[in-house]
Chains A and B, each alone.
Chain A
Amino acid sequence: MARFLLRRFGLALATLFVLSVLVFAASQLLPGDIGRNVLGPFASPQDVARLDHQLGVDRPVYIQYLDWVWKFIHGDLGMSLEYQVPVSSLLGPSLINSLKLAAVAFCLVVPLSIFGGVYAALRRGRLPDRVITLTGLSFTAIPEFISAIVLILIFGVLLNWLPVTAAFPADADFFTQVYYLLMPGMALVLVLFGYIARMARTGTIDALESDYTRTAYLKGLDTATVVRRHVLRNSLLPTIAVIATQMGYLIGGLVVIEKLFNYNGIGQRIYTAAVNKDFTMLQSGVLVIGLVYLTATLLADILYSLLNPRIRYAAAE
């Protein structure tokens, strides 16, 4: 078990290293001089050189990379080129906001899609199965800003049930915050539902067709018990893996959804950083997103191995 976890952790670190190099390389693609970009075309060459020196961009590339990583590990994400304040002071609150929105979407989509998938599998080939599978897959493919706009039209404008912005008042309590995040959360749910439900459905069908399920039926257990004790325990394992991989999408979807609902999350931060060419912010924001994704998949893998006796015991040997 420990060896498995260690290996998995090592892989995540290796991936993180490659990712940091890629992100750093992307920021080196920026044409021209960073100091010149910040100060504009009319600044004197001396001022540009001074700012470059101050920012440390006149040093060799590998030194800059090591310096960036070293500072990143110690929580120093640099100064925002646009706002002249530490990036971490802006990214931190935004990340928390995004996690709130992601949490709302997550709490909606996981029970809904698992229930939908399992239900479809139990009614396999019949109308409920077709409806769930087809609508799920269709929504998965529709860009989130379009389904979000349809949601706004229905729940925000026509019925007037939910606010059309996600920016809740600063002093909002827990329930008010959830109330504001419900609609953007639903837009993300529509995209994710199809994948997770399909996985839950496939897993459940596989489990239903297995020998142990037949044995359970033959020894006289009723359907409810068979499903609960034998089918679900096996069918939900692959679902967990798929939920983890969808975390990546969830964060990407945040960029669009946060802009649409005018919500101050990390997606919105990355978007504004990109528009303003605020490269320190962009660089750190992107790496933070990668870090969040890798942590999520790592946790899912650990959970998966803890729940799956085959891996638990195989690793113990």
Chain B
Amino acid sequence: MSTAAPAVRLQAAQIARRETLRQLVRSKIFMSGAIIIAFWIFCAIFGYRIAPHDPLDQSFPQLVGPSATYFFGTDQLGRDVFSRVLAGARDILLIVPAATLLGIVGGTIVGLISGYFRGRVDDVASRIVDAVLALPLIVIAVTVLVALGHSTVTLIIVIGVVFTPIVSRTVRAAVLSERQLDYVAASQLSGERAPYVMFVEILPNVMGPIIVETTVRLGYAIFAVAGLTFLGFGVRPPSPDWALQIADNYTLLGAGTYSWTVLFPGLAIISLVVAVNLVADGLSRVLER
């Protein structure tokens, strides 16, 4: 008896997971986003190899319009824009997931603790959350990056730390409604310690909101990293990063005729952002019914 029950439950969980997956594969919204993201991940890994020209090579004619040789034209330093767009996926696709993961892990821990214990702990956490939210991410990031000197690791940590309180709000709200339920009381009464109740009992039941929050955060992280890079506080040259390409070439816009140098990297960022949002939308539809 006592061994059969968990086995049955496990099987039920497996079936539910398989069903969720099946719904996701069927969702056009989710799949179209996933395919675009998969394409950019492929480019992030193999971009330098599949690019027709060396993305860092400056020996091509400068500011040539799109043609058969240079699909997206060349920029003002004589670099091939098409190759740079392919290779430019690497840095942002490294920084964004890392920063998001950090924020999600941190936010989940803080949210579980403040939602589970409530009271004084919760009050203090809420004040700090409010204070952090009173400043735009870009302003916080610029300040800290100047104080600590910038590196990719610092950039990831800053974005992750700023995301932590925001994620913790979502997790806290989910935990608050979850801890009213009988299974939490049952677990407490059977003498389980608080960390066990939080991480083993409650956490699996708030995974839905956490996954949706993850995809939403990914979108914001792209926004933040691209903005910071544009300002000169993100990815450093000579990386072919998309935002960096725009920052390098946007001053030419006044002249008006060299739009390809910013248009294609811009479209690349837009496609990635839209894809992440499609995935987020598809996931939330399947998980939050």
Contact check, A271 vs B143: say whether CB atoms are below 8 A apart: no
Cβ of B155 within 8 Å of any chain A Cβ, yes or no, is no
Q: How far is the CA of A138 from the CA of B281 in the complex (A)?
A: 11
Q: Which residues of A contact B142 (CB under 8 A)?
A: 255, 270-271, 274
Contact check, B134 vs A290: say whether CB atoms are below 8 A apart: yes
How many residues does chain B have at the interface if contact means C-beta atoms less than 8 Å apart? 45
Contact check, A286 vs B127: say whether CB atoms are below 8 A apart: no
Residue-by-residue, is A134-149 near B (CB-CB < 8 Å gives 1, otherwise 0)?
A: 0001100111111001
Contact check, B231 vs A146: say whether CB atoms are below 8 A apart: no
Contact check, B146 vs A146: say whether CB atoms are below 8 A apart: no
Q: How far is the CA of A26 from the CA of B141 in the complex (A)?
A: 11
Q: Which residues of B contact A286 (CB under 8 A)?
A: 135, 139, 143
Residue-by-residue, is A1-45 near B (CB-CB < 8 Å gives 1, otherwise 0)?
A: 000000000010011101100110011011100000000000000
Q: How far is the CA of A137 from the CA of B29 in the complex (A)?
A: 14
A91 CB, nearest partner CB in chain B, Å: 14
Using known A-B contacts A153-B263, A277-B146, determine if residue A249 contacts B230 with beta carbons closer than 8 Å. Answer: no
Contact check, B136 vs A26: say whether CB atoms are below 8 A apart: no
Chain A binder among B40-48, B69-77, B195-203, B254-262? B254-262
- Contacts of A133-184 to chain B: CB distance below 8 A: 137-138, 141-146, 149-150, 152-153, 156-157, 164
Using known A-B contacts A141-B277, A145-B246, determine if residue A248 contacts B256 with beta carbons closer than 8 Å. Answer: no
Cβ of B184 within 8 Å of any chain A Cβ, yes or no, is no
Q: Which residues of B contact A149 (CB under 8 A)?
A: 246, 250, 253, 262, 266
Please name the residue on chain B nearest to A152 by beta carbon: B253
Q: How far is the CA of A144 from the CA of B266 in the complex (A)?
A: 11
Contact check, A29 vs B148: say whether CB atoms are below 8 A apart: yes
Cβ of A312 within 8 Å of any chain B Cβ, yes or no, is no
Please name the residue on chain B nearest to A291 by beta carbon: B134
Using known A-B contacts A14-B127, A141-B274, A153-B263, determine if residue A270 contacts B139 with beta carbons closer than 8 Å. Answer: yes
Q: Which residues of A contact B131 (CB under 8 A)?
A: 15-16, 18-19, 22, 290
Contact check, A141 vs B136: say whether CB atoms are below 8 A apart: no
Cβ of A120 within 8 Å of any chain B Cβ, yes or no, is no
Contact check, B137 vs A252: say whether CB atoms are below 8 A apart: yes
Contact check, B230 vs A256: say whether CB atoms are below 8 A apart: yes
Using known A-B contacts A141-B274, A144-B227, A277-B146, determine if residue A19 contacts B136 with beta carbons closer than 8 Å. Answer: no
B86 CB, nearest partner CB in chain A, Å: 18
Contact check, A142 vs B246: say whether CB atoms are below 8 A apart: no
Cβ of A260 within 8 Å of any chain B Cβ, yes or no, is yes
Q: Which residues of B contact A150 (CB under 8 A)?
A: 266
Using known A-B contacts A252-B139, A255-B139, determine if residue A146 contacts B134 with beta carbons closer than 8 Å. Answer: no
When the two chains form the complex, which single residue of B128, B137, B259 contacts A18, counting CB atoms closer than 8 Å?
B128
Please name the residue on chain B nearest to A275 by beta carbon: B232
Cβ of A121 within 8 Å of any chain B Cβ, yes or no, is no
Interface set of B (CB-CB < 8 Å, partner A):
127-128, 130-139, 142-149, 219, 222-223, 226-227, 230-233, 243, 246, 250, 253-254, 256, 259, 262-263, 266, 269-270, 273-274, 276-277
15 contacts between A and B (CB under 8 A): A23-B143, A138-B273, A141-B274, A145-B243, A145-B250, A149-B246, A153-B263, A156-B253, A157-B253, A157-B259, A251-B136, A253-B136, A255-B139, A274-B142, A274-B143
Q: Kindly list the 8 A-B residue pairs having the minimum CB-CB distance in the complex, ordered from nearest.
A: A252-B136, A18-B131, A29-B147, A157-B256, A19-B131, A143-B226, A15-B130, A252-B138
Other CB < 8 Å A-B pairs besides A22-B131, A248-B134, A270-B142, 20 of them? A15-B127, A18-B128, A19-B131, A19-B135, A141-B276, A142-B274, A143-B227, A143-B243, A144-B227, A145-B226, A145-B230, A145-B243, A146-B246, A146-B269, A255-B138, A255-B139, A256-B227, A260-B250, A274-B233, A290-B134
